[in-house]
């Protein structure tokens, strides 16, 4: 039997909340009728409900990456520096492989792997490798590196740097790299801005270790979270640095507000990271005192995030296949040359209320498997469980 180390409830609760919200965005990608033909954040064509549906999910990836760094710090407290570094290197490489092989298949349902999709698991994997290497230096080096990347990466917006490596690691969304005649890598997540969130999450882990009073931790979270939100507002108001494109006044105040909060996720800008991580830090502080059955439900999802993440893609895509044939499509419609997902024609889809119903159903169906796996992992100590 595995001797379990007590987990900090607020971390699992917040991670669970963002995992639940994350599934909404992916349900929209698979099932909404304009997901493949329109930008839900375009104030000229979207609706407030559709804008909110996409925008609220912006909080998921940065919070998840930040909490991954925080968890890495807590895990490292039970290991020697060499052991902690080695584990992060191996886990990071495993996550990169899992993104390419397991997650890509769940997204595309293409067993020939004509397209490899690099998203958040890839970014976390590479960031873990970088963190594992930096752990061989010092805490101060990790903190300084994280701060430089966090506050300074948007300087590159002012330079036109050639080459796919610059794009993959810093600046680009949707970098397409051909490999062979009919295979492509789609790199959607520019790595190093995400790495900054992981490194700063690792450093924030200091306030979660044994011996740090809860009130000291809450004060740190409230101060840094409030400062991040204030910095977002100031930078966005100045409109000169912090986002690749400036905002512009729209035809009315509400649309201007939407334009103001529509900041770059691909790659994640300084404005984006401040806008999302600021509230995440405040939520961590608030969740220290969370009570009620809802928080236990969120903890179930948050304690097995990778298991949930992989499972929800496969469940969504199996449902998509069923809906595809029930909607009257045939085998000739399986492949759309403009869309990397099989069984997802551009003109397919349902209204937003149906998307929300499907999202809630998927999350509900996954509760029991996640709860089972959480208990299984508590009771067993096979080596591979550390990587899932």
Calpha distance 165→18 (Å, rounded): 30
Q: Token pair for residue 282? A: 């405040």
Q: What is the pLDDT of residues 189-202, one digit of tens each?
A: 989 999 999 999 99
**Domain count across the chain:** 1
| Alpha-carbon 382 to chain mean position | 27
Q: Is 95 a domain residue?
A: yes
- Give the list of residues 6+ apart from residue 57 with CB closer than 8 angstroms, or none: 21, 22, 24, 25
Q: Is 376 a domain residue?
A: yes
* pTM above threshold 0.85: yes
Q: Is 2 a domain residue?
A: no
For CA atoms 304, 305, 306, 308, the dihedral sign is positive
Q: What is the pLDDT of residues 75-115, one digit of tens each?
A: 999 899 999 999 999 999 999 999 999 999 999 999 999 99
Q: Which residues of the chain have pLDDT under 70?
A: 1-6, 161-162, 172, 174
Q: Look up tokens 């045939």; give the residue.
A: 330
Task: Outline where 6-138 has alpha helix (H).
Answer: 9-31, 48-55, 60-76, 81-98, 104-108, 120-134
Q: Is 313 a domain residue?
A: yes
| Domain membership of residue 321 as a residue range | 9-386
What per-residue confidence (pLDDT) applies to 291? 80
Q: Is 217 a domain residue?
A: yes
Calpha distance 119→186 (Å, rounded): 9
Q: Is 3 a domain residue?
A: no
What per-residue confidence (pLDDT) applies to 314? 98
Task: Supply angle C-alpha 24, 29, 31, rounded to 5.
Answer: 90
Q: Is 4 a domain residue?
A: no
Q: Is 82 a domain residue?
A: yes
What per-residue confidence (pLDDT) applies to 289? 81
């Amino acid at each position: 039997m595995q001797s379990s180390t007590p987990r900090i409830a607020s971390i699992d609760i917040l991670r669970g909340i963002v995992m639940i919200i994350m599934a909404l965005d992916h349900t929209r990608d698979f099932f909404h009728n304009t997901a493949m033909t329109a930008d839900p954040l375009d104030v000229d064509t979207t609706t407030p409900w559709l804008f909110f549906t996409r925008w609220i999910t912006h909080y998921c990836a940065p919070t998840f990456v930040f909490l991954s760094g925080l968890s890495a710090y807590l895990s490292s407290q039970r290991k020697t520096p060499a052991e902690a570094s080695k584990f992060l290197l191996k886990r990071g490489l495993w996550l990169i492989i899992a993104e390419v092989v397991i997650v890509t298949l769940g997204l595309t349902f293409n067993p020939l792997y004509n397209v490899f999709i690099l998203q958040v698991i890839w970014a976390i994997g590479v960031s873990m490798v970088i963190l594992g290497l930096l752990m061989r230096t010092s805490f101060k080096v990790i903190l300084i590196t994280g701060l430089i990347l966090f506050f300074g990466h948007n300087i590159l917006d002012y330079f036109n740097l050639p080459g796919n490596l610059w794009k993959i690691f810093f600046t680009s969304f949707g970098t397409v790299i051909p490999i062979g005649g009919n295979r492509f890598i789609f790199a959607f997540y520019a790595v190093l801005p995400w790495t900054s969130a992981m490194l700063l999450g690792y450093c924030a882990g200091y306030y979660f270790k044994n011996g740090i009073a809860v009130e000291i931790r809450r004060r740190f979270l409230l101060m840094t979270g409030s400062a991040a939100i204030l910095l977002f507002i100031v930078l966005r108001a100045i409109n000169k640095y912090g986002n690749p494109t400036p905002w512009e006044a729209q035809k009315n105040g509400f649309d201007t507000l939407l334009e103001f909060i529509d900041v770059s996720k691909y790659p994640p800008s300084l404005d984006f990271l401040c806008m999302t991580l600021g509230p995440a830090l405040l939520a961590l502080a608030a969740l220290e005192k969370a009570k009620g059955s809802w928080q236990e439900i969120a903890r179930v999802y948050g304690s097995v995030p990778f298991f949930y993440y992989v499972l929800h893609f496969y469940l969504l895509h199996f449902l998509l296949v069923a809906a595809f044939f029930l909607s009257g499509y045939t085998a000739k419609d399986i492949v759309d040359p403009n869309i990397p997902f099989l069984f997802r024609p551009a003109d397919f889809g349902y209204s937003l209320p149906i998307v929300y119903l499907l999202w809630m159903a998927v999350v509900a169906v996954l509760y029991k498997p996640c709860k089972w796996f959480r208990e299984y992992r508590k009771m067993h100590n096979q080596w591979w469980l550390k990587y899932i």
